[in-house]
A and B are shown apart, each in its own frame.
Chain A
Amino acid sequence: MVVRQYNEEIKYLEKINPYCWRIKKGFQPNMNVEGVFYVNSTLEKLMLEELRNCCRPGMSGGFLPGVKQIANVAALPGIVGRSVGLPDVHSGYGFAIGNMAAFDMDDPKSIVSPGGVGFDINCGVRLLRTNLHEKDVLPIKEQLAQSLFDHIPVGVGSKGIIPMNARDLEEALEMGMDWSLREGYVWAEDKEHCEEYGRMLNADPSKVSLRAKKRGLPQLGTLGAGNHYAEIQVVDEIFDKYAAGKMGIESIGQVCVMIHSGSRGFGHQVATDALVQMEKAMKRDNIETNDRQLACARIKSVEGQDYLKAMSAAANFAWVNRSSMTFLTRQAFAKQFKMAPDDLDMHVIYDVSHNIAKVEEHVVDGKLKTLLVHRKGSTRAFPPNHPLIPVDYQLTGQPVLIGGTMGTCSYVLTGTHQGMTETFGSTCHGAGRALSRAKSRRNIDYKEVLNKLETMGISIRVASPKLVMEEAPESYKNVTDVVDTCHAAGISKKTVKLRPIAVIKG
């Protein structure tokens, strides 16, 4: 609830440098640590306007501006460091989207919150490279887009085409990408280039409800809808030749494929089920928060542990999902070019999660601590020499894949040491919405959007025309702004810029 006038509220916010603001304690009740958010001048205006709008008399509760949500998260028990808002931050459920919060695992009061992970558990991005060049693809671009659209199930009501039964699902939930490898859907080296090697070891399918499994089974291997997509992209700009080279990106015009998808209805059900359990646990354990939607449980409690095990199973589901689509993408390309995916060098550059909670070691006040890091709409960005990143990226840092919005551009960044200190190795995830979906549907004409994409030379295959308006770039913040801010703030480094030439959406 916003209770003060804007002029009063703004006193709690302080601009530290051109890219960073701090949120002082007292902005919201019970803050244990300060908040911080990264913005440039354009994004700053949006943040403050959101706050200003909510301070006007007559505004009802329920909708909280991003800054307030960051502050509410800072009030959660066991939080250390700061509650961080990345440049793409915007209002969400309890936690803002684009919010990172870490909790000390050694503090018995520390909590875990499904809202800090997001409903779409392990929504993430995978980037494949090829040895094709734009000129190789242009003559058959339409056929290739159609082929991808035909191979990958998309949109409302779509069902997976890779045969699976309940037993397969149980195994997939437990084994993650190891299941995909066993079944022959991925190459062994794909696992190397995936966070957690594509499998969270503490996954426990028995902690997942039957309902979640039922929702998940038909959807395994589907792209989904909303802001999920598969894109054929070309390298538009290389900012860091050495780092790009390590990723196998050698030249402008090189063709890549980006897949943005998550755990579908499965992850949503796991999150929903957990929220119900935790609401009860909060009453029992006397946990108070500033917002009903910050439902949480002590990490060490039964509810907390059960959620983490179920969340890991959902994370595994998403990795199997992206792996299945990797397989289908390789098939689609292989058929069109009449070459094996191997000969097309269709390797996974990396696979990142931007809705997940991880147990990680970080230095807090000079001491090494084990933290539960919640990243909701935020991507891990580990620096060079970090033990958890693959050998080939040891000198460059972890690749960070930032998906742009439909028809704009995407970026590959790398993690930095500064990011490791300031944000526990976290950076943005994408563009973040600016316009509501209803407003987009009313103000933007879908034919206009499609025409615009056509003039830019982008082939589009979309299951739902209405989605085209909701997903139009005008509905989102500018991804370049977001990425430039991360770069300027030093929390991640621009490496490659990619431009789409074909888009497949649900």
Chain B
Amino acid sequence: MDEELGGISEEYYDIPPVKYEYLDHTADVQLHAWGDSLKEAFEQCGMAMFGYMTELEYVQIKDVHTIEASADDLMGLLYHFLDELLFLFSYEPFLICKKLVITEFNTQEFKIVCRCYGEEFVIGKHPQGTEVKAITYSAMQIIDDPKDNKYEVFVIIDI
């Protein structure tokens, strides 16, 4: 843990509504996430990934960790953001996230800083869903359209 949980106010326990779905793909699954901003679409995409690994209603918020991701372009940024989240789960602290809050979202320099709220994954407490093996660039789409207020991402994850 890199922060005192006591420093988080009540509102951080509010879980945002679900703004993602899973789309058909032959061998793997495509995450489709959206939001009122591109930042929110990214956050929802991260949650979509965790939602496939377990059932989120069984996850509580007991820990918070901060991750950083950077890249050379926007697709790379989404890719590395999800990869960092996957790593948070695969290695210490083995964190399964209930909520993601991106605190820095820089689409000029392609950098993200994100606060990840959740707890350590425990077999028996958390249902075992499907394992995510890797993030891919396959059919990746990022729709950033302020004119039509459309912010969506499509990512295929290898399972």
Contact = CB atoms under 8 A, between A and B. Distances in A.
A215 B90 contact: yes
Interface stretch (B18-26, B38-46, B106-114): B18-26
B68 interface: no
B156 to A, nearest CB: 8
A506 B128 contact: yes
Interface in A210-227: 211, 214-215, 217-219, 224-226
B126 A226 contact: no
A90 interface: yes
Interface string A246-284: 000000000000000000010011011000000000000
Contacts of B90: 214-215, 218-219, 265
A156 B54 contact: yes
A265 B94 CA distance: 13
A293 B28 CA distance: 16
B149 interface: no
A155 interface: yes
Interface string A313-343: 0000000000000000000000000000000
Contacts of B136: 93, 293
A437 B25 contact: yes
Contacts of A435: 26
A155 B133 contact: no
Interface of B: 22-29, 53-54, 83, 87, 89-92, 94, 96, 121-123, 126-131, 133-141, 158-159
Nearest to A154: B128
Interface string A87-103: 00011110001000000
B131 A119 contact: no
A464 B126 contact: no
Contacts of A60: 139
B27 to A, nearest CB: 5
A473 to B, nearest CB: 15
Contacts of B29: 436-438
B126 A438 contact: no
16 contacts: A63-B25, A91-B26, A120-B133, A156-B130, A211-B87, A214-B92, A218-B94, A219-B90, A224-B131, A226-B130, A226-B133, A435-B26, A437-B159, A438-B23, A463-B123, A506-B131
Contacts of A268: 133-134, 158
A298 interface: no
A434 B24 CA distance: 12
B139 to A, nearest CB: 3
A161 to B, nearest CB: 12
Contact of B138 (A62, A436, A470): A62
Taking each of B22, B23, B140, which has the highest tally of chain A beta carbons within 10 Å of its own beta carbon?
B22
B28 to A, nearest CB: 7
A268 B90 CA distance: 12
